Amino acid sequence: MRMPTLRFCTGPLIMKKTLDLPVIGGTAYGFQMHHAFPAESTRGVGLYRLFCDTVRLQWILLACAAFFSGRSALAAQIAYLKLLMAGYGSQLGHYFAHFPANKRPFVVTVLQKMHLLLPSKHHSVHHRPPYNKHLTSVSGLTDVIMSRLLKNLQFIPSVTLWMFLSAFDVPIIEWLFGTPLLHGLV
C-alpha cells in the first residue's frame, strides 16, 4: 500500500522510520494508515478498535509512571488522568472529529465547541498538505504552541523528545506539584 507523501513533521508516529522500532512499530503503522485513509480507518473500524490500538502504549506508559514517579497518590491520579484524557480521551475525540456533524451525538458537538474534544474543523487541517499544523489529538488547544515547535523537527530529536515526555511526564508533573509554588493546588 502506498503511503501519501508527507512532510514527516507531525510527530514520531507518522515518520516512516518509526515502523522499524520495536514495541511502537505496529501502532505507528495504524497511525500512518489513518493518515492515508482518515475516514475509512476511523469510522470504518469503530471506537472499540481505536481504543484497542492504544492499549500497548498505555501499559508501557503506566509502567514508566510506576517506575519513575514517587509512587504517590498524586502520581496515581496523574497517571489515571493521563490514561483517561490522553490515551482514551484523544481516541474518543479523534474518532468523532472524523464524523459529519449530523452523525455526532449532541454532547460530542458541545464538547467539541468547548475544545474539550477535538473539533472536526480544527482537526481537518491536519489531514491537508503540508501536514504540519494542528498535530495534537486531545483537544487542539495546544496546537498554537505545538505546531510551531514540531513543524520542522527531524526524526531523532522528535522520537527522543516524544519518548522522554511520554516516559517522564507523570514524574515531572508530580515534581512540579510538589514545589512550593504549586503545592497548595493539590
Query: Which of the residue ranges 17-21, 107-111, 123-127 has the most confident prediction, judged by mean pLDDT?
Result: 107-111
With respect to residue 127, please indicate whether it lies within any of the assigned structural domains: yes
CB atoms within 10 A of CB 88: 16
Whether the CA torsion 173, 178, 179, 185 is positive or negative: it is positive
With respect to residue 27, please indicate whether it lies within any of the assigned structural domains: yes
d(CA 76, CA 18): 29
Domain that holds residue 160: 12-183
With respect to residue 4, please indicate whether it lies within any of the assigned structural domains: no
Q: Which residues lie below 8 Å from residue 150, measured CB to CB, with a gap of 6+? A: 9, 10, 11, 132, 135, 158
With respect to residue 115, please indicate whether it lies within any of the assigned structural domains: yes
With respect to residue 175, please indicate whether it lies within any of the assigned structural domains: yes
Total tally of structural domains belonging to the chain: 1
Digit-coded pLDDT (tens) for 53-77: 666 677 888 888 889 998 899 899 9
Is the CB of residue 75 less than 8 Å from the CB of residue 65? yes
With respect to residue 6, please indicate whether it lies within any of the assigned structural domains: no
Q: Is 7's pLDDT higher than 70?
A: no
115 DSSP 8-state letter: T
List Cβ<8 Å contacts ≥24 apart for 28-32. Answer: 32/3
Digit-coded pLDDT (tens) for 128-172: 776 667 766 667 777 777 777 777 777 777 778 777 888 888 899
Res 186: pLDDT: 57
With respect to residue 1, please indicate whether it lies within any of the assigned structural domains: no
d(CA 177, CA 167): 18
What pTM was computed for the model? 0.64
Q: Which three cell numbers stand for residue 166?
A: 511520554
Rounded to the nearest 10°, the torsion over CA 181, 63, 139, 96 is -160
Is the CB of residue 58 less than 8 Å from the CB of residue 79? no
Q: Which three cell numbers stand for residue 156?
A: 531523532
Res 50: pLDDT: 65
Digit-coded pLDDT (tens) for 20-38: 877 677 777 777 776 677 6
With respect to residue 51, please indicate whether it lies within any of the assigned structural domains: yes
If you search the block for the grid coordinates 483537544, which residue do you land on? 139
Q: Is 11's pLDDT higher than 60?
A: no
